């Protein structure tokens, strides 16, 4: 498909996008806590929001604004989620959008708002407004990294990337940034993600491409089974590469989708690798299920099992705990048909211990990243998830004292 990585790429790699990140005083010290991404011209937007019924104020506002399909800027703050803040929260999110619009000389409805941080605490609006002023002054076409830094919460590193691909014989760029770390479970992770592209797409195509890519990336990662109030993915397309407008029937559309999937998958993987306190990344595949839904049930039950996840942290190839979870997952199961593999090496065959020595299996589980495949041998249903282990450090980081 000739999708090529751009070295040090990010949310400002695509033509016509600027960004900035500043310390607005929401977080203590001089930590960066606000970011702004802006398109020089009108951009179309595809968006996916948390499925949580309890939605943060910025999510509610951004859902309205994204519905219109045309935007110019996305303003972010970390340190405060502006969730469970009622009418005041909505007014604060509106004021954030209004201030941003004023400083950038655009319409309020062209501004999307993202917040991440503690739930239930009102937004410090005066600080936010001053922060927006600073951001507007600092916007630059190489501001991607500093913006990516400013949206971090418990993340230990910046998450950004960009790719290029040829559409209609012209090079288009897709780049983006994300934050994650905790409260990560499909649909979707506690994460914010903003992707920009200078390709041109019609709005229905952009929207569908966005949700298709999210389904194969951010909806396939789980750190702790908790779906947040603030999860948001935006894809902004401004057409500044001057390639033709992509529709689903365009000859190069598949290339674009592959490139977008690549960017989102990479950012999702970065989130999992930076999961709070983790030591292991596990690629879990469930196959041979009676249906895809059954395969998903098994995968998600495993992603939520503290006993399974702690065993990985202890380098323990404890396939018995996997059998236990498979059994209570609610999926159709025949115990004597189940095979379990670590990196392709059989731990259990037909529901029984294989003759692989434990020491051999332990070698695989010691790796910082390994694959577990579960074959239920009942049908063609399959599902995969990217997950990690549960460690003492996860608990320590989330105790909040």
Q: Distance (Å, rounded) from C-alpha 48 to C-alpha 340?
A: 34
Query: Nearest distance from residue 288's CB to a copy of itself, in Å?
Result: 15
| Burial group, residue 154, by CB count within 10 angstroms (0-12, 13-18, 19+) | middle
DSSP letter (8 states) at residue 368: S
In the complex with a copy of itself, the residue whose CB is nearer, 228 or 237, is 228
Q: Are 297 and 248 in contact (CB under 8 A)?
A: no
Helix H or strand E encompassing 308:
helix 306-313
Query: Nearest distance from residue 226's CB to a copy of itself, in Å?
Result: 5
In the complex with a copy of itself, the residue whose CB is nearer, 45 or 61, is 61
In the complex with a copy of itself, the residue whose CB is nearer, 22 or 81, is 81
Among 183, 182, 76, residue whose Cα is nearest residue 123: 76
Question: Which residues, 6 or more positions from 51, have their beta carbon under 8 angstroms from its beta carbon?
Answer: 187, 188, 227
Joined together, the tokens standing for residue 225 give 């089974």
Q: Which residue bears the tokens 């190839």?
A: 317
Query: Nearest distance from residue 350's CB to a copy of itself, in Å?
Result: 7
Catalytic residue chosen out of the listed positions 12, 96, 153, 190: 190
Q: Distance (Å, rounded) from C-alpha 185 to C-alpha 222?
A: 4
In the complex with a copy of itself, the residue whose CB is nearer, 210 or 222, is 222
Q: Distance (Å, rounded) from C-alpha 271 to C-alpha 265?
A: 10
Query: Nearest distance from residue 332's CB to a copy of itself, in Å?
Result: 8
In the complex with a copy of itself, the residue whose CB is nearer, 67 or 88, is 88
Q: Distance (Å, rounded) from C-alpha 299 to C-alpha 151?
A: 30
Query: Nearest distance from residue 224's CB to a copy of itself, in Å?
Result: 5
In the complex with a copy of itself, the residue whose CB is nearer, 21 or 182, is 182
Q: Distance (Å, rounded) from C-alpha 188 to C-alpha 185?
A: 6
Task: Give the other-Cβ count within 10 Å of 308's Cβ.
Answer: 24
Q: Classify 178 as helix, strand or coil.
A: strand
Q: Are 210 and 235 in contact (CB under 8 A)?
A: yes
Chain residues that interact with a copy of itself, rule: CB under 8 A: 51-55, 81, 83-86, 118-121, 182-183, 224-229, 304-307, 310-311, 313-316, 318-321, 323-328, 333, 335-336, 348, 350-353, 390-392, 394-396, 398-401
Query: Nearest distance from residue 98's CB to a copy of itself, in Å?
Result: 23
- Examine the residue annotation and report whether 190 is marked as an active-site residue of this protein: yes
Q: Distance (Å, rounded) from C-alpha 181 to C-alpha 190?
A: 8
Among all residues, which ones are annotated catalytic?
190
């Amino acid at each position: 498909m000739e999708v090529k990585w751009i070295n040090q790429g990010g949310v400002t790699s695509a033509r016509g996008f600027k960004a900035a990140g500043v310390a607005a005083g929401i977080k203590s010290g001089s930590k960066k806590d606000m970011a702004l991404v802006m398109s020089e011209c009108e951009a179309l937007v595809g968006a996916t929001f948390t499925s949580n019924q309890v939605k943060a104020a910025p999510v509610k506002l951004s859902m309205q604004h994204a519905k219109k399909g045309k935007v110019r800027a996305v303003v972010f703050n970390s340190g405060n989620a502006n969730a469970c803040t009622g009418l005041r929260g909505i007014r604060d999110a509106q004021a954030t959008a209004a201030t941003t619009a004023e400083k950038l000389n655009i319409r309020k409805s062209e501004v999307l708002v993202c917040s991440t941080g503690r739930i239930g605490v009102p937004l410090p609006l005066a600080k936010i407004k001053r922060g927006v002023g600073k951001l507007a002054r600092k916007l630059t076409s190489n501001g991607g990294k500093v913006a990516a830094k400013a949206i971090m919460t418990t993340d230990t590193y910046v998450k950004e990337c960009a790719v290029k691909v040829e559409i209609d014989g012209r090079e288009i760029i897709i780049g983006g940034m994300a934050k994650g770390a905790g409260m990560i479970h499909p649909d979707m992770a506690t994460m914010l993600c903003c992707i920009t592209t200078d390709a041109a797409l019609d709005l229905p195509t952009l929207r569908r491409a966005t949700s298709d890519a999210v389904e194969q990336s951010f909806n396939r990662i789980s750190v702790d089974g908790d779906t947040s109030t603030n999860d948001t993915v935006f894809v902004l397309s401004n057409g500044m590469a001057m390639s033709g407008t992509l529709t689903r029937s365009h000859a190069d559309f598949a290339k674009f989708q592959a490139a977008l999937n690549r960017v989102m998958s990479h950012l999702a993987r970065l989130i999992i690798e930076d999961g709070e306190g983790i030591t292991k990344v596990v690629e879990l595949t469930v196959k041979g299920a009676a249906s895809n839904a059954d395969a998903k049930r098994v995968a998600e039950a495993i992603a939520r099992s503290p006993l399974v996840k702690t065993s990985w942290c202890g380098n323990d190839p404890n396939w018995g705990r996997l059998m236990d979870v498979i059994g209570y997952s609610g999926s159709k199961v025949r115990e004597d048909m189940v095979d379990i593999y670590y990196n392709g090496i059989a731990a259990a065959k037909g529901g029984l211990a294989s003759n692989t020595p434990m020491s051999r299996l332990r070698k695989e589980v010691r790796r910082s990243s390994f694959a577990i495949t579960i074959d239920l041998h009942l049908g063609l249903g399959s599902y995969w998830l990217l997950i990690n282990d549960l460690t003492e450090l996860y608990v320590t980081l989330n105790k909040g004292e």
